[in-house]
């Protein structure tokens, strides 16, 4: 599939902003199953400083400084992205949970070492004993790891309700767990925190999801906005992506933008500003197949 992606973010401030600095994760990254064919970023007002680079995780990032007074900031990222369906993996033939832990405990090769850093708690996915206890029944040591991870994703989809009004970006994962509701970001952090609490690697993935009814059914949840899911590491196979919001194996309807330990590493827009007062944010995302 080739998609045309439009992501427009508009900030409106109650007071003038004198100067602002921003870090953007808005450019889709390349990978084994994805290629960014074209990307452009329109900024109003125009920045006095702009630098495009890569972050620690290899994600494309843009640094901005806007030095003119403004009451509105518009960031419009547009791209053309080619996505291929990943090779299918039989969950029942992946290494056992106990074997994954052993490989990480004696990690020497680069792949295992890079996966090991995704076993530690992070700001949005801290260690919570209650999450470890809730997830543990899905992860006996002899069970194939991907089979167990897929069951965890399915449990989140089944037991938690998608509710955009229940949480905010600052809601702790323990609170979302207690409420049994939230949005895609909460469900990804929940799954990641569960896996890491059990000593298993998981990373946070941000991106987009194509909106399309399946067999005339309900639209996929989380489309027409930034979306989030997780990826788990499997020796010899690499990272495998799961979407607990929709109980899906990530495929050609997902567009990957960035990955990291949690949302804090890959927020679409972050930064610091002087002035502004109260503000509102509007986000509009369109992901459509190219003609």
CATH code assigned to 2-84+267-289: 2.60.40.2250
| pLDDT score, position 221 | 46
282's CB contacts (< 8 A; 6+ apart) are 8, 9, 10, 12
Dump strand ranges (E) for 128-275.
Answer: 161-162, 181-182, 202-209, 227-234, 238-243, 248-249, 254-260, 269-275
3.10.620.30, 3.30.420.40, 3.30.540.10, 3.40.50.360: CATH of 91-250: 3.10.620.30
- Name the stretches of the chain with pLDDT < 70: 211-224
For CATH 3.10.620.30, list the domain ranges present in the chain: 91-250
- Please give the order of strands across the beta sheet that includes 202-209: 248-249, 238-243, 227-234, 202-209, 254-260
| pLDDT score, position 71 | 97
| pLDDT score, position 215 | 53
User: Which pTM does this prediction carry?
Assistant: 0.93
For CATH 2.60.40.2250, list the domain ranges present in the chain: 2-84+267-289
| pLDDT score, position 110 | 76
């Amino acid at each position: 599939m080739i998609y045309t992606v439009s992501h427009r973010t508009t900030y409106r401030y109650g007071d003038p902003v004198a100067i602002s600095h921003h870090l953007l994760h808005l450019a889709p990254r390349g990978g084994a199953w994805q290629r960014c064919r074209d990307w452009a970023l329109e900024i109003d007002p125009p920045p006095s400083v702009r630098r495009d680079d890569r972050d620690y995780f290899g994600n494309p990032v843009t640094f901005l400084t806007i030095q003119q007074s403004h009451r509105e900031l518009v960031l419009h990222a547009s791209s053309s992205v080619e996505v291929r369906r990943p090779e299918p993996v039989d969950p029942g033939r992946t290494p056992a949970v106990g074997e994954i832990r052993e490989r990480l405990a004696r990690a020497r090769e680069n792949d295992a070492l890079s996966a090991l850093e995704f076993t530690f708690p992070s700001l949005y996915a801290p260690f919570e004993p209650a999450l470890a206890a809730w997830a543990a029944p899905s992860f006996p040591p002899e069970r194939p790891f991907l089979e167990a991870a897929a069951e965890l994703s399915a449990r989140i989809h089944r037991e938690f309700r998608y509710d955009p009004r229940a949480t905010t970006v600052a809601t702790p994962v323990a609170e979302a767990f207690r409420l049994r509701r939230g949005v895609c970001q909460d469900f990804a952090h929940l799954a990641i925190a569960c896996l890491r609490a059990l000593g298993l690697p998981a990373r946070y993935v941000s991106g987009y999801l194509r909106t399309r009814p399946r067999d005339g059914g309900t639209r996929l949840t989380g489309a027409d906005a930034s979306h989030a899911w997780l990826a788990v590491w499997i020796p010899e196979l690499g990272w495998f992506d799961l979407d607990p919001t929709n109980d899906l194996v990530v495929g050609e309807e997902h567009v990957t933008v960035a990955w990291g330990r949690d949302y804090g590493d890959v927020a679409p827009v972050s930064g610091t500003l002087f002035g502004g007062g109260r503000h509102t944010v509007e986000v509009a995302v369109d992901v459509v197949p190219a003609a």
